[in-house]
Amino acid sequence: MKVVGLMSGTSADGVDAALVNIVRRGGISRITPLAFASLPYSRTLQQRLVELSLHGQVAEICHMNAYLGELFANAALRVIRKANYRATDIQLIGSHGQTIHHLPKGIREPGVGVVRSTLQIGEPAVIAERTGITTVANFRPRDMAAGGEGAPLVPYAHAMAFRHPRRCRLVVNIGGISNVTYLPAGGGVQDLRAFDTGPGNMVLDAIMRVVTQGKRSYDVGGRMARQGTVNEALLRELMAHPFLIRRPPKSTGREEFGAPFVQALVARQRTLRLSVEVLLATCAAWTAEAIGSCRRWISGEIDDVIVGGGGVYNRAIMDALRGVFAPAPVLTFDDCGWSSKAFEATAFALLAHDMLYGQCTNVPGVTGARHPVVLGSVVPGGAGVPVIQARRSR
């Protein structure tokens, strides 16, 4: 089955689209990458989404849901064309959407107890209508309905791609938020451990936008961070953040490490009279140290550290990670035959594919859900042929 995966992360900088071929044999899905494309958001749209996640009005959320559906559909068609296929050659799309709010702790309401919630926009009905391809979306809410945090979900794909019969591996994804997946040697999906560790690129990118007054959205290659030295006092303050010492299962996002947090951090920088380079160096080190602190929740050796996501291109973060995990080698997804840029989109192609086979793809030990569940809801493509009929025809 040829499947497109669509992903836009907490950095809100664009849509990644991965086209893969998936073959299922003996209950195991084997993935072959075919093509990858990105559809970047304009700086204005990125800022609109950041504002929407913190102060969004109902009318704007309603509009942006449909607008992003159009952009996600365009990204899907772009990667299909890049691979020299037609939309009619593709059986399925899995779309994560754009998270604009995530409340994993929940809010207690009378008569029902704690209500956990999450909201990803990018209307799947628009994607299915524009492409004619059956689309699976809304992956996180079912896990939350079952008592989980709805995140992280990509560890299911990490296990498929990186588990090893003899080596214990820590898979690290550094997007806007960083998360880790621990794969014990010879273990299966049910044996892995995974959780968010804290900020990845989100805080660093926001600092650049603040200090350049919006002229630059990120520190290219970590160049400015590498010109600074780590301020140990500030690093200790950051490492004392309550999220870092919270026991898993845990997940986080812009609600915890977004604009208000960065504004307070920049104010702290000015109080301490630190240069921007020192602030960036300290936050890059913090990202790595926060990832390294995962070891307090993991019982087992770490033979390999495998890193993906946009953070692999920040040399300050990667240098710090090598120091944190030495002597274990720190590799990239690309070193292991997978694209760092494409993997998260690939993961949602896999989740969509396995959903059609009735496979439970959450990991209750990771998300905190009471039991395994099938993730995602389906919008049929074309003229609305039922998905189950399409499955039989294949």
| 41, 14 Cβ separation under 8 angstroms | yes
Q: Binding site membership for ATP: which residues?
A: 9-16
Q: Residue 119 corresponds to which tokens in the numbers above?
A: 């909201």
Q: Binding site membership: which residues?
A: 9-16
| 284, 221 Cβ separation under 8 angstroms | no
Q: If residue 54 lies in a helix (H) or strand (E), which one and from where to where?
A: helix 43-55
Strand partners, 14: 40
Angle between helices 259-272 and 43-55 in degrees, nearest 10:
100
Q: Which residues contact 232 (CB under 8 A, 6 or more apart)?
A: none
Residue 154: phi and psi, rounded to 5, are -65, -25
| 218, 201 Cβ separation under 8 angstroms | yes
Q: Residue 196 corresponds to which tokens in the numbers above?
A: 């968010």
Query: ∠343-347-353 over CA atoms, to 5°?
Result: 140
Q: Residue 129 corresponds to which tokens in the numbers above?
A: 């209508």
Widest pairwise Cα distance in the chain: 67
| 310, 298 Cβ separation under 8 angstroms | no
